[in-house]
Structure 1
């Protein structure tokens, strides 16, 4: 993305977008028109550790989104910078019926945790959208992803959401997302997604029993 590309896109946007509150048209994370609109975040230093009091359970933590930090996106007119406000998740996370799964690669059939069954907690901290999940290492998908996280072969997250409200900057080069809806979206462990900026860890519940160790070794070995 060059300064000229951004300026040209902003000029087109200024002429054709009616209001600054209008959402980006054909929002996507790469130049090709068919690209998906996803926001990614880099996982930090993945770890496998024991979770206190629940032997055999893996704990995953990380950020699926970073707030107040710009990343490149594209719309109908070209490239722009997108920023998610620090309080953009407040309303959606306050839902009593919040339904969000933790999945692999945005594949809804590869769910490894979910808010509705108590295995996934979502909150916001100073970095962004914090993901905390309790995983079953006997799950095939958990055993598949654990060694890749440990080896740093996979080190990014992403999340699927809808934009509820936002505003374009006066020069039309930046869109700030003021409110999102993540209900029935997802948080995902991905290869690559659109905002390279967060962290995560995978660890095992503390405990010294043989079954816990065997499950951890199975997860690390990939099954």
Structure 2
């Protein structure tokens, strides 16, 4: 029997000790074994031929800030929001290590911040993702590129840890105020949780062959 938002909030209010406590058993669906991923739809996918026919550039957002989406915890459903600027401290790390992967599979990496092939930042939309020079001959790039072009795959998410957040007074909403994405990932997925982000894939006019990557674009593994 599906638990209602109000019933879940009532249980949460009775059992959560402090409003600053993180969601317990956080996940993106009702099923207890569902992952805690945050979905972002990849709208506006584009692929263009470059002058040298060499590389692909990926642009997108792994999270959209200030947009509510449904999540679940041990008590039932709730609304979650990532605050604007929630990733600022984490993204500023000099040793930031985040790969761009397929389906949160760490063995299917296409780009990585430590190699300079993946660039992460924050803008007016949310967590921005740029892989400037993907290698079309890489197995994972070759696999996902036509699916992005055709719209068969059009969502992404990111894996992170919640460092700070707070429940609303009625315990129906949880706001993530600060997250840590170091050693997490940004991933191209079939389905996740947050349906608001966008991305594009294209072939740049002059992408340097020396920065060839293995990369492409599910809010978040947080426990």
Q: TM-score, normalised by structure 1?
A: 0.89
Q: How does 1:63-78 map to 2 (within 5 A)?
A: 63-78=61-76
The aligned residue for residue 169 of structure 1 is 168
Q: 1:83 to 1:51 in 2, by over 3 A?
A: farther
Q: Does 1:126 align with 2:152?
A: no
1:199 matched to which residue of 2? 198
> What secondary structure, in the 3-state scheme, does the structure 2 residue paired with 1:74 have?
strand
Residue 5 of structure 1 is matched in structure 2 by 4
**CA deviation string 1:170-194 (max 9, x = no partner):** 1100000000000000000111110
Hey, what does 1:94 align to over in structure 2? 92
> Normalised by the size of structure 2, how large is the TM-score?
0.89
**Gaps in structure 2 of 5+ consecutive residues:** 207-223
Tell me the residue number matched to 2:47: 48
Deviation at 1:205, TM superposition (A): 2.1
* CA deviation after TM superposition for structure 1 residue 166, in Å: 0.2
Per-residue deviation, 1:40: 0.7
Give 1:201 shift.
0.6
Q: Offset of 1:57 from its aligned partner?
A: 1.4
Rounded Cα–Cα distance in structure 2 between residues aligned with 1:124 and 1:51: 27
CA 1:167–1:195: 2 relative to 1, 3 Å: same
